[in-house]
Amino acid sequence: MNLCITGCKSYARDNLSGKMTAQKFNIAVGFLNLTCTNQCLSTDGYKEEIKATSSRGLYQFTLDLFGQYNVAKHIHLMQSLGDTMLSEKQFCQILGRMRLYNYLPQHQQRMLPRLLITDSQINNVAKQYIHDENFAGNNGELSMWMFYNLITGANKNSYLDSFLGRSVNATEISVGLTEALNHRDEAYSWFIE
């Protein structure tokens, strides 16, 4: 595992009308796991939108993010994924609820954790559950670490400006579901009920 610092500048988010306004960036610090994974970036150190009018301002925002990042907490969260198992029935239940999520009324969606994964990515997760050499379900069960890698593998097709947000969301989903499976979190229980 390598500690990774990554960022993205999307001009689509900026006002390019000619006025000099704050420019917007995404930035993250976290671990990039390069051994037998989908090269997934997982982090609790992420800023979806940083507005800066100078390189000095961007530098200060970046230093603040690094100072807030808790490496020990992040490692503990990643380890907990490997300790929790998911049955094939639970896996199917979760994917079904993920498919339903986007069709729920807005007031119901707001009561649930956010889900950025798309329907085509959910389909890819299901396909890779059967066919992936490293992360396919084994004897009707799957560790949450493997589930996490299936989601991040599906995320690889995202455009760069949405990739970081979806990678962080994959971490949130996997950790939240792990907590719900261990009866420590109510927010994600809707996905497994």
Domain boundaries, the chain: 2-192
With a threshold of 0.75, does the pTM exceed it? no
pLDDT of residue 42: 47
Of 120, 116, 178, the C-alpha closest to 148 is: 178
Structure confidence at residue 106 (pLDDT): 95
Give phi and psi for 6, each to the nearest 5.
Answer: -140, 155
For the chain, the average pLDDT equals: 79
Residue 66, pLDDT above cutoff 90? no
| pLDDT band (50, 70, 90) for residue 35 | very low
Say if residue 3's pLDDT is above 80.
Answer: no
Which of helix, strand or coil describes residue 142? Answer: strand
Per the structure block, which two tokens stand in for 5? Answer: 């610092």
Window from 32-46, 60-74, 109-123 with minimum mean pLDDT: 32-46
Please report how the helices 144-155 and 119-131 are oriented relative to each other, as an axis angle in degrees rounded to 10. Answer: 130
